[in-house]
Amino acid sequence: MKIAVVAYSFEGNTWKIASAIAESIHADLIRLIPQKEMTSTGFSKYIWGGRQVVFGMKPKIEPLSHDPNQYDLIFLGSPIWAGTFAPPVKTFLETGLIQEKAIAYFYTHEGGFKNAVARAQKSIEPDNYLIGSLDLLNVMKNEEQCIQQAVAWAKEILKQHSNV
Ligand SMILES: Cc1cc2nc3c(=O)[nH]c(=O)nc-3n(C[C@H](O)[C@H](O)[C@H](O)COP(=O)(O)O)c2cc1C
């Protein structure tokens, strides 16, 4: 079974988790990089990013380092923006880049993630299917604990879906 960990990360938290999962299960790691990334780390990032979510934007992303269609299982990571996954993940899910893939979704947030899984599921299906999810609260403050939790979750997903 070929496995990839695909993630977008603006401030590095989701990427730390993605890297730890990939290393622990020997998966390829693919970073979603928008062609135009915001530069602000101050309050205006919420306006810039929130606006993208509200308008359902699918920002162009750089060519991927690996073809995602060669994998059977994809661990997909995103920070939560305005209650849902970040726009580059929308691009990944909704522009025909992957078909019929099993997706295990993990997301990092600071407490405002209501309905995050249901909202992701709407974008994952019908082209692909969701096999599990994990929410990770305040990675910056609980880095080691979140990494341990994510690695254990990923191993459990693999155990349950080794026939994917
Ligand atoms: C534009 C923007 C919107 C955000 N919206 C939310 C939100 O709705 N709920 C929440 O809990 N955290 C929100 N956050 C915080 C991030 O989800 C959180 O810090 C996440 O771990 C950042 O991941 P990253 O470092 O990989 O970018 C937002 C952050 C940004 C930049």
pLDDT digits (tens, 9 = 90+) for 16-55: 999 999 999 999 999 999 999 877 778 889 999 999 999 9
What's the CA gap between 110 and 139, in Å, rounded?
A: 8
Q: How many domains does the chain have?
A: 1
pLDDT at 152 over 90: yes
- Which of 16, 89, 106, 109 is the best mutation target for the ligand 1 pocket, counting ligand atoms within 8 Å of the beta carbon and taking the most? 109
Note the pLDDT tens digit of each residue in 69-125: 999 999 999 999 999 999 999 999 999 999 999 999 999 999 988 899 999 999 999
The sign of the dihedral angle between the CA atoms of 126, 135, 107, 40 is positive
Note the pLDDT tens digit of each residue in 111-133: 988 899 999 999 999 899 999 99
What's the CA gap between 136 and 9, in Å, rounded?
A: 14
> What is the residue range of 103's domain?
3-160
What's the CA gap between 124 and 100, in Å, rounded?
A: 10
CATH number at residue 55: 3.40.50.360
Give the distance (Å) from ligand 1 centre to CA of residue 44. 13
Residues 6+ apart with CB under 8 A from 2: 28, 70, 71, 72, 73
CA 40 → CA 27, 37, 151, distances in Å? 32, 9, 31
CA 132 → CA 39, 44, 51, 59, 67, distances in Å? 32, 33, 28, 26, 22
Q: Report the DSSP beta bridge partners of residue 4.
A: 28, 74
Check residue 164 and give its pLDDT.
66
What's the CA gap between 15 and 18, in Å, rounded?
A: 5
- Which of 80, 85, 108, 143 is the best mutation target for the ligand 1 pocket, counting ligand atoms within 8 Å of the beta carbon and taking the most? 80
